[in-house]
Structure 1
Amino acid sequence: MRIGELSRTTGVPVPTIKYYVREGLMPPGELTSPNQATYGEAHERRLRLIRALLDVGGMKVAEIADVLTAIDDPVRPLHKVLGAAADRLGNVGVEHDDTESAAAQAVVADLVSRRGWRTHDSDPAAADLSMALASMARLGHGAFVEVLDDYADAAEQVARADLGYVDRRVSVEDMVESVVIGTVLGEAVFNALRRLAHVDASAKLYGADGPPEQKTN
C-alpha cells in the first residue's frame, strides 16, 4: 500500500508517519521509484504499536524508540527498558471511534457490573481500561480479556492492602513483542483496574453505608 492508504488505515497523518520513519521508529517503505514507496502489514503493525505506546502508554518518542530498539534486538536485556517504560506510564490517551473501542467499552461495563463494583463505566479509570484493551485488540491481543477477571481479582486484593496500609503511606508499586504488550499496556490495564477497585473498596470501608463501627454519631 502507498503511504496515503497506510495513513487512512491507521488514522495516523502522513506527516506523522514520515516523522516516525525519520526518527527510526519504523523502517522506510520499499522504494518502487525515486519518489514512491510501498508499505506492508509489518509497517501497519509497527505503526499501531507506536501509537499504542504513545497514546495508552503515555511514553515519549525517545522512550518509544528505546523500546522498539529492544524489540528489534532481542539479545538486548529487556527488563531495564521495560522497567523504565512502565515507570513512565500515564493516563493520557486518545479515544478512537472504532469497533475495538466499542467492544472494549462493553467489556469494561460488563466487568464493573458483574463484580458489583461501586463505581461506574464513566469513571476515568474505566476509560483508561477501555483504551488499553482496545489497543491490545488492534495489535492482535484481544484474547487478553480472557484473563481480565484474574487481573480484577488481583486489583481488589491490592486495593484492600493499599487501604490497610494507608496510615503508614506504603507505596505498592514477555516472543519479544508480547513482553512489551504485556508489560507496558498490561501495566496500563492493571493500573486502571486498581483505581476502579480502589473506588469500590473505599466506598465499602468509608462510605455512608460502610461498617457501623466506622461511622460517627
Structure 2
Amino acid sequence: MKISELSRQTGVPVASIKYFLRQGLLPAGRATAATLAEYGEEHAQRLRLIKALTTLGGLSIAATRDVLGAVDQAHGVEGALGAVSYALPVPGTAQPVESPGEVAEGGEGAEVAELLAALEWQVPGTSPHVKGLTAALKELRRLDAQYAPGELAAYARLAESVARLDLERAVGIDDPVSLAERAVVVLAVCAPVFELLRRLAQEDQVRRRVAGGDGA
C-alpha cells in the first residue's frame, strides 16, 4: 500500500508517518521509485504500537524507540510484556522509576520484600514496581495511613486475580509486536477502567452502609 493508504488504515497522519520513518521508529518501505515506497501490514501493525506507546502510554520518542528495540529482541510473552511494563510510568509517579539496583533493606523495602516472599511472587528486587510500591508505602506511613501487613496481602491477592484476567487477554498472541500493543492497552486503558470499577463499588458499599445494609 502507498503511504496515503497506510495513513487511512491506521489513522496516523502522513506527516507523522514520515517523522517516525526519519526517527527510525518505523522501518522503511519497499522502494518502487525515487520518491515512492510500498508498505505492508507489518508497517500498519508497527504504527499501531507506536501510536499506543506515544498516545496511550505517553512515552517520548526516545523512550518509544527503546521499547520498540526491546520488543524486537524479545523472545516470547515475558520479554514483550516486560519491555512495555517497565517503560510505562509507574502508578503514582509522573515517569518510569529507574531501577539501578535492589531495593534497600529495612523499613518499607523490607516490608515489600516480605510481602512478595509470602505471596511467592516471582518478581526481582530491581523491578521499578517494587520501588514504586516501596515509595507508596513510605508515603502512607508519613501520612499515618499505612496498611497493616494482613490488609496489604488481601489487596495483593485481589491484584493477583486481576493479573490473571489481564494475561488471559494475551492467550494465543505469539507475535511480540501484537503482544506489546495489547500490553499498552491493558496497562494504560484497562487499569483506569479497573480503578473506576473500584470506585463505583466503593460508592455502592457506602450507600449500603448508610441505608443500614451490611455491605454484603
**TM-score (norm. length: structure 2):** 0.52
Structure showing greater Rg: 2
Alignment match, 1:84: 86
Residue 6, structure 1, aligned to residue 6, structure 2: yes
Provide structure 1 residue ranges, at least 5 long, that are not aligned to the other structure: 91-165
Provide structure 2 residue ranges, at least 5 long, that are not aligned to the other structure: 93-143, 160-169
- Of all paired residues, the percent bearing the same amino acid is 35
CA contact (8 A) 1:10 1:47 kept: yes
CA contact (8 A) 2:71 2:177 kept: yes
Alignment match, 1:168: 146
CA contact (8 A) 1:31 1:38 kept: yes
* Higher alpha-carbon deviation: 45-54 or 187-196: 187-196
Alignment match, 1:22: 22
Cα distance change, pair 46–79 in 1 and its aligned pair in 2 (3 A) = closer
Cα distance change, pair 89–203 in 1 and its aligned pair in 2 (3 A) = closer
Alignment match, 1:54: 54
SS in 2 for 1:212: coil
Cα distance change, pair 190–48 in 1 and its aligned pair in 2 (3 A) = closer
For residues 7-156 of structure 1, the aligned pairs below 5 Å read 7-74=7-74, 78=80, 81-87=83-89
CA contact (8 A) 1:203 1:210 kept: no
Aligned AA (1:187)? L
Cα distance change, pair 4–190 in 1 and its aligned pair in 2 (3 A) = closer
Cα distance change, pair 194–201 in 1 and its aligned pair in 2 (3 A) = same
Cα distance change, pair 51–73 in 1 and its aligned pair in 2 (3 A) = same
Query: 1:28 Cα deviation (Å)?
Result: 1.0
Query: 1:14 Cα deviation (Å)?
Result: 1.3
Cα distance change, pair 4–79 in 1 and its aligned pair in 2 (3 A) = closer
Query: 1:8 Cα deviation (Å)?
Result: 2.2
CA contact (8 A) 1:85 1:184 kept: no
Query: Counterparts of 2:178 and 2:13 in 1: how far apart (Å)?
Result: 26
Give the aligned length.
Answer: 139
SS in 2 for 1:87: coil
Cα distance change, pair 51–74 in 1 and its aligned pair in 2 (3 A) = same
Aligned AA (2:202)? S
**TM-score (norm. length: structure 1):** 0.52
Query: 1:19 Cα deviation (Å)?
Result: 0.5
